[in-house]
Amino acid sequence: MRALIQRVSEARVTVEGAVLGEVGPGLLVLICAMRGDGPAQAEKLAAKIAKLRIFQDAEGRMNRSVRDLGGAALVVSQFTLAADTRSGNRPGFSTAAPPEIGEELYEYFAARLQAEGVSVATGRFGADMKVALVNDGPVTIWMDSEA
């Protein structure tokens, strides 16, 4: 699985003008299941993200996790993280998991992150979502369960 993690002051996702998920200080996690991924990859990534120390401590060093803060995570599915741009000008997405597997792993990832002690809000898999955020820092981290 691939994830793009952004430390945020706030973030929200809307579909057709309705807010589906919203968080204050914490993380925006854009997540993509790749072909061949399964529950093990979702568990590994959720555990790593819950413990990722990208929030400042009293000395101003990135030494605290979202879990340490009592922060929340907005988890949004984004198959475009699987983009292959090696040839041509139009990205290919053949490395993304098929939609039915992608949705299952997206939901499983969100549940595993919640089980790691992080409050989780979500978008809607496959929907045309609008994501608004205030990136804090800015801090943006790319993660891959296979890296």
Give the catalytic positions in this structure: 78-80
Closest C-alpha to 96, from 129, 132, 125: 125
Q: What own/partner pairs with CB < 8 Å and gap ≥ 24 does 78-87 have? A: 78/4, 78/30, 78/31, 78/32, 79/32, 80/32, 81/2, 81/3, 81/4, 81/30, 81/31, 81/32, 82/2, 82/32, 82/34
Query: 96, 101, 102, 117: which is closest to 49 by C-alpha?
Result: 117
Q: Is the peptide bond before 138 cis (omega within 30 degrees of 0)?
A: yes
Cβ partners under 8 Å of residue 36, min gap 6: 97
